[in-house]
Amino acid sequence: MRIDLHTHSTASDGTLSPAEIIVAAGAAGLDVVALTDHDSTAGWDEAVAALSSGGPAVRLVRGMEMSTIARGEDGRPVPVHLLAYLFDPAHEAFAAERRRLRAERGTRLRTMAERMAADGLPVDADEIMAAAGPSAGRPHLARALLEAGVVVSIGEAFESILAPSSPYYLDKADTDIADAITLIDRAGGVSVLAHPLARARGRLIDLDHVRELAAPARLGGTLAGIEVDHPDHNSADRSALRELASELGLITTGSSDFHGENKSTRLGENTTCPDQYAALVGQATGISVLGGRDGDGAA
């Protein structure tokens, strides 16, 4: 089986629609694909409809990438992404937190765009917000800057105008990672730490904090896995994360973190081992995997 557990659609900051993700996953030879848009389940229904309308025989894992705050290596708070899989979207406390996060995203994006426009940069906050949809983020602003000719690539936008050192940058109030894991657990989902050693993105989570989050005696939910095979992890970091996962008894996943044209990575560029996928699905009690050649969504 070829399994990619981290992709983004136009429901957040990708360039393919949820239905197109399903079609592209089939064309890439994937057996399983997870849709994990930022802080949103808005793309789930379209992806499910693509499966039921005679689309490719792939299995769909419905998930999300959540914006959280953890303890950094330097002891200061650091933004960290947490993948949440197969949770019940109707769980009210978790749904309320997702709504809050999306509101934070929208406020941040509009404020950043308005600051740029006030300084004469050719961006329109209203147009960007209209294009961004339910899960607004910096990639939408990066694309607007690219289309206006301010930068020559999405990467340049993130390295300059959108970087944390930029006067236009604005923090947002993300969810404490321990609280996020508890919410995911109570909604019947499975939590996996996303690309924890993606050094090019900036400061990293303290790995001792990962150990604390994975401790069986921790009150609330417990971290279930680590994304090991990711385009932003080098071979040494993958080995280190695999050892950490073995030490803690965590699931290890692999993925492309596919964003369509917003990134150069391909669907299926990294994949998850079938036994690890089966372990992840086996822990979930919120919702089921859908689709597949046998039609039952079984692992």
Give the residue from 58, 38, 21, 2 showing the smallest Cα distance to 229.
Answer: 2
Q: Are 69 and 217 in the same domain?
A: yes
Query: Residue 164: inside a domain, yes or no?
Result: no
* pLDDT reported for residue 293: 57
Q: Is the residue at 167 inside a domain?
A: no
**Whole domain around residue 128: which residue ranges?**
103-159
Residue 296 pLDDT: 40
Q: Are residues 43 and 151 in the same domain?
A: no
User: Is 19 part of a structural domain of the chain?
Assistant: yes
* Residues 132, 138: Cα–Cα separation, whole Å: 10
pLDDT tens, residue order, the chain (299 aa): 999 999 999 998 899 999 999 999 999 999 999 999 999 999 999 999 999 887 778 999 999 999 999 999 999 999 999 999 999 999 999 999 999 999 988 898 899 999 999 999 999 988 888 887 767 788 889 889 998 999 999 889 988 999 888 999 988 899 999 999 999 999 999 999 999 999 988 899 999 999 999 998 777 789 999 999 999 999 999 999 999 999 999 999 999 999 998 788 999 999 999 999 999 999 999 999 999 754 444 43
Please check whether residue 165 lies inside any domain of the structure: no
Are 43 and 188 found together in one domain? yes
Asked if 95 and 36 sit in the same domain, the reply is yes
Q: At what angle do helices 92-118 and 138-147 cross, to 10 degrees?
A: 30
Among residues 159, 184, 200, which one ends one of the domains? 159
Residue 12: inside a domain: yes
Strand pairing of 190-193 and 225-229? parallel
Answer with the one of 159, 180, 206 that is the final residue of a domain.
Answer: 159
- Using CA atoms, how far residue 236 sits from 54, 205, 229, in Å, is 42, 17, 11
Number of domains in the chain: 2
Query: What are the φ and ψ backbone dihedral angles of 150, each rounded to 5 degrees?
Result: -75, -35
pTM of the entire predicted model: 0.89
CA–CA separation, 271 vs 40, rounded Å? Answer: 23
Same domain, 270 and 219: yes
Domain assignment present for 60: yes
Residues 6+ apart with CB under 8 A from 66: 38, 39, 81, 82, 83, 84, 98, 101, 175, 180, 184
Q: Are residues 273 and 186 in the same domain?
A: yes
pLDDT of residue 1: 95
- Write down the residue that tokens 């329109």 correspond to: 124
Gap between the Cα atoms of 267 and 94, Å rounded = 29
Inside any domain, residue 166:
no
How far apart are the C-alpha atoms of 36 and 33, rounded to whole Å? 10
Q: What pLDDT is attached to residue 136? A: 78
Question: In this structure, are 92 and 187 located in the same domain?
Answer: yes
